[in-house]
Amino acid sequence: MEYQYQYESTRCNICQADDFELISKKGQFGLPVNVGICRNCGLGYLNPRWDKASYSHFYRVDYDKYYRPDIHEQSTRLGSTNPILERLERKRLLPDDVNFILDIGSGEGSNLADFGRRFPSSRLFAIEPSEASQELLRGLNIEIISSDAASQWDKDLQGRFDIIIMRHVLEHFLDPAQILIKARGCLSKDGIVYIAVPNCLNPVNRLEGHWFRVVHTYYFNRFSLKNIMSITGLKVRLITEGDKFNPGEIFLVASAGNVVNQLSPSSGHYTIQRDLFLKRIRKENSPLYRATVPLRRVLRKLLTAGMS
């Protein structure tokens, strides 16, 4: 029997406003999306969206079919550069003493394997819902502490982790602010959290049909990222919009700081993000753009092949 996905409505995760402008209903793989922007602070998010039970089912059973179809053929990288490690080392942001590392949304464990080689005496932990990925993680001797980042995994791990990795996972949560609060509480005294998300002020692919996804419940930019860090008590030490590894993402490094109880949202952030989204959608729907899509695909493949 086919699973019946259920929907729920939500408020802005940053400012809690209920003032939402719908931008698009066209998403990747034809899966349903309702992408919009908070008029109060400019955060992008899905509304309505699948409820928690529906997302739990999708990640557990179907996510790999869409996004990691070759997961059992993959192996962790040996000898290749890990962008996270290179970024942290280049900016001298790695803690001096690394004993415990957590990857939230670890996938098959390639980042943890790389960090384990860099810090061979460290213990590696993961939070990962995919059953296929969990099988691979166990084969790498990585301890799975939960399949759900919204669970109570943090209660017995306060102050434990020297590095917490959240690469392209924050945009997947139903309540990212809650997850960040959990992560903050689990950082050691000199611990850091590394976060990378798609940069919605510089989308490098088509919005409708690729960038907008049912699994991306939130759409961050530099404004909304800084805001959500503030309200969850994380102090940003570095924030960068793209580099040689990925021009279309934002990555940041933060440590435990003070919670900002009051946020002063800017409607200007809403206007900037809305105008960019609408301009791109108009461009992508133009006859000229549609006619040149096959050529751009070929050029991207050639470019990718030349860089590998």
Model confidence at 70, in pLDDT bands (50, 70, 90)? confident
Q: What is the pLDDT of residue 308?
A: 38
Band (pLDDT 50/70/90 cuts) for residue 2 is confident
Averaged over 5-24, what is the pLDDT? 97
User: Looking at the domain 71-204+213-256, which fold is it?
Assistant: Rossmann fold (3.40.50)
pLDDT of residue 73: 55
Domain residue ranges in the chain: 7-64+267-307, 71-204+213-256
CB atoms within 10 A of CB 72: 11
The DSSP result for 250-271, as a single string, is EEEEEEE----S-----HHHHH
pLDDT tens, residue by residue, 147-186 = 999 999 999 999 999 999 999 999 999 999 999 999 999 9
Q: For position 79, what pLDDT does the model report?
A: 53
Cβ atoms < 10 Å from Cβ of 213: 21
Instruction: Kindly indicate the confidence band of residue 301, based on its pLDDT and cuts at 50, 70 and 90.
Output: low
Q: Indicate the DSSP class of residue 82.
A: P
Q: Which residue has the tokens 């109060």?
A: 40
pLDDT at 80: 78
pLDDT averaged over the chain? Answer: 92
Q: pLDDT class for 265, splitting at 50, 70, 90?
A: confident
Q: Output the DSSP codes for 92-121.
A: T-S-S---EEEEET-TTSHHHHHHHHHSTT
For the chain, the residue count is 308
- Reported as a single tens digit per residue, the pLDDT across 85-117 is 999 999 999 999 999 999 999 999 999 999 999
How far is the C-alpha of 30 from the C-alpha of 194, rounded, in Å? 31
Put simply, whether the predicted model's pTM sits higher than 0.85 gets the answer yes
pLDDT digits (tens, 9 = 90+) for 122-155: 999 999 999 999 999 999 999 999 999 999 999 9
Q: What percent of the chain has pLDDT above 90? A: 81
Between CA 296 and CA 238 the distance in angstroms is: 33
Average pLDDT over residues 242-246: 95
Mean pLDDT throughout 18-22?
A: 97
Parallel, antiparallel, or unpaired: how do β-strands 100-104 and 123-127 relate? Answer: parallel
Band of pLDDT at residue 300, cut at 50, 70 and 90:
low
N- to C-terminal Cα separation, the chain: 43
Separation CA 46–CA 25 (nearest Å) = 9
Q: What is the DSSP letter of 171?
A: G
